[in-house]
Structure 1
Amino acid sequence: MEVSASRGKKVIEPFNEKVRARIFRMSSLSSGSGNGGDDENDVDSPSPCLSNLVRNFLEDQNGVDEPPPSVAAHAKVSDSEEEFGNLSPTAMIEDVIDPVKNADRFRNILLGHVVKAVEMFSTSKTSKTVFNGNIAAYLSENGYDAGICKTRWNSSSGGGLSAGNYEFIDVIVSESVRYFVDTDFASQFEIARETENYGQLRNALPKVFVGKCEDLKRIVRVLCDEAKRSMKSNGLSLPPWRKNRYMQAKWFGPYRRTVIHLPSNPSAQLIIPKITVQCRSVGFDDGGRSSVPPATWTR
């Protein structure tokens, strides 16, 4: 497929020089591809088609007004019946995580790179931070704006929210488009004495999650609702660390974002943070009680 120069220019016009370089360094990863020298399957080869993908992706976002992160975190999620329409919760999850059913091509390309990185670094996995650092660095080397995000939140008055912290990877496409990458997603929803319905729903979850904010929020909400029903049917109360508000805080609470680059030796286990660290406080309004510093840039 040929891409004309004028068309290519339109694709990259909205981006600065750094982002343009990223676009032309990214490429699609064919499912099940080997380690041969076929340029089409080489994740390091440039792909002009991906520029067209980004253009189409951003055009799809036009006309959709997304609330600021702080507002989105407070937004009330509708009841499951209204949220998912005629879809069952399991079908909704499958529509998000299955590349065949999910029409988000950027997400599916990113998923391919994440899966390859997980396979590459799983043998040397020691701690979650080191493991996530290697994956984030690998994604950065393949042109993505990837970073490690560490959320931390304090307990709220009245006991509505217990204090906690969490770590995951994100990939930023634009100011309003952000993808979440969690390499240990399914285990976050384990509960004691689960019902058959909840077990089926949890088993539908991927170990590695890659998706956008709205998809993640919906999945978390439906899992927490079903977990509550599961515990109630067994005469138990849902523990604070499995309630929807606590689970949402894991990914949408105030966070610090660190950008990391891969060492020259890809098999190296040590990851050294880049000098430039981005720190942003977004999400829940904790009245200034959060231990995360205000938005700054440190060099």
Structure 2
Amino acid sequence: MVKKIPARFNRFAAAFDDAAAKAAGSWESSGSEHSAADLSDLVNSFLERESREERDSEELVDNGDQDKDEDDEIDFEYRDRLKDLLYRENDAVKGTIHAAVERAYREVDGSGSSSSGSSSPDFKRQLMARLRSRGFDAGLCKSRWEKSGRCLAGDYEYIDVIAGGTRYIVQVLLDGEFTIARPCGGYASLLEILPPVFVGKPEELKQVVRLMCTAVRKSMTIAGIHLPPWRRHDYIQNKWFGSYKRTTNEISSRKALNYGCGSSENQTLKEISFNRREDFVAKKSGVGIINQAAAVLKQKENGAVNMCATIVVH
């Protein structure tokens, strides 16, 4: 039975034959004894090149195996830890809040009243208002932080609920806060575990953030992508765990100047309109703006009307 000759031996034999032919020609033409040394150098160079190629090939295989091992680590170890963080505690209060948030989310999302999606301040404010209308002490929290080292400056808004002296953070579509380019398979499986509606104590969310940020770094390392500053741990944790201001106003202060407004859902809007700037500043031309606004407020106080007065200057 004829055995197959290794490819490396064939390449070596071909190189040797070629070198020998060149050396023979050199001997015949000049009779120089240096041609034998040239042949030896050529053979040694060939062997060294073959050795380098084999080492490079082995390194590529090792790196590929290492990447696969790291991906498997994200897939198995991190999945179990994340599930444990999200579902380990049997908190009846949290379950009640979660059910109310899911219902309010469906109502606000289905109404189509917020065109910019669930991440917009208007959407979160409406969601907060729905929870308050159901008796929950919900608030809209506004966090803001300055640039520090590699951490960029930023701001964020989220909802919290205070129940029995315990603060719960409400986050809709938490997976969107950890979306990255070219995620490895293990990391993509973590995103699928994150619930559409998260309700949890700050300590619980802090552990989830720490785990996901570690997984983000590993996934982007496997993909060979630079970690963007807005996906670093210090930037993401500032969203929920830095200093914040809490408001329970159902109408944003950025809206038009309103007087005596009640619920944003059940109010009649009355507009006091001035066609000329002179009317706005005049003190002697009949009833001025202050008197008109005061008249509206007095009517509201007396219970005659249920309205908001909005001042518009043309």
- Indicate if the aligned counterparts of 1:141 and 1:261 stay in contact, CA closer than 8 A: no
Residue 227 (structure 1) aligns with: 216
SS across alignment from 1:194 = coil
Please tell me the residue identity of whatever aligns with 1:237.
Answer: H
Pairwise mapping of residues 262-273 of structure 1 onto structure 2 (< 5 A)? none
Q: Deviations over 1:228-254 (max 9, x none)?
A: 011111222211110111110011122
Residue 236 (structure 1) aligns with: 225
Residue 194 (structure 1) aligns with: 183
Report the aligned-residue RMSD. Answer: 2.4
Residue 278 (structure 1) aligns with: none
Please tell me the residue identity of whatever aligns with 2:183.
Answer: E
Between Structure 1 and Structure 2, the one with more helix by share is 2
TM-score scaled by length of structure 1: 0.55
Pairwise mapping of residues 133-144 of structure 1 onto structure 2 (< 5 A)? 133-144=125-136
Please tell me the residue identity of whatever aligns with 1:197.
Answer: G
Pairwise mapping of residues 201-220 of structure 1 onto structure 2 (< 5 A)? 201-220=190-209
Aligned equivalents of 1:126 and 1:102: distance in 2? Answer: 35
Q: Percent identity?
A: 38
Aligned equivalents of 1:250 and 1:265: distance in 2? Answer: 28
Pairwise mapping of residues 43-82 of structure 1 onto structure 2 (< 5 A)? none
- Indicate if the aligned counterparts of 1:168 and 1:183 stay in contact, CA closer than 8 A: no
Residue 249 (structure 2) aligns with: 260
Pairwise mapping of residues 118-137 of structure 1 onto structure 2 (< 5 A)? 118-123=105-110, 124=112, 125-127=114-116, 128-137=120-129
Please tell me the residue identity of whatever aligns with 1:241.
Answer: W
| Number of matched pairs | 178
Please tell me the residue identity of whatever aligns with 1:90.
Answer: R
Pairwise mapping of residues 1-299 of structure 1 onto structure 2 (< 5 A)? 88-98=77-87, 101-123=88-110, 124=112, 125-127=114-116, 128-156=120-148, 159-173=149-163, 177-261=166-250
- Where does the alignment leave 5 or more consecutive residues of structure 2 unmatched? 1-75, 252-261, 270-314
- Indicate if the aligned counterparts of 1:140 and 1:261 stay in contact, CA closer than 8 A: no
Aligned equivalents of 2:85 and 2:104: distance in 1? Answer: 21
- Indicate if the aligned counterparts of 2:124 and 2:159 stay in contact, CA closer than 8 A: yes
The higher radius of gyration belongs to 2
Q: CA deviation at 1:90?
A: 2.0
Please tell me the residue identity of whatever aligns with 1:161.
Answer: C
Q: Deviations over 1:63-93 (max 9, x none)?
A: xxxxxxxxxxxxxxxxxxxxxxxx9432333
Please tell me the residue identity of whatever aligns with 2:240.
Answer: W
Q: 1:230 to 1:142 in 2, by over 3 A?
A: same
Residue 26 (structure 1) aligns with: none
TM-score scaled by length of structure 2: 0.52
Q: 1:266 to 1:92 in 2, by over 3 A?
A: farther
Q: CA deviation at 1:267?
A: 9.1
Aligned equivalents of 1:121 and 1:96: distance in 2? Answer: 28
Aligned equivalents of 2:266 and 2:104: distance in 1? Answer: 11
Q: CA deviation at 1:142?
A: 1.8
SS across alignment from 1:260 = coil
- Indicate if the aligned counterparts of 1:148 and 1:170 stay in contact, CA closer than 8 A: yes
- Where does the alignment leave 5 or more consecutive residues of structure 1 unmatched? 1-86, 271-299
Q: Which 4+ stretches in 1 moved above 6 angstroms?
A: none
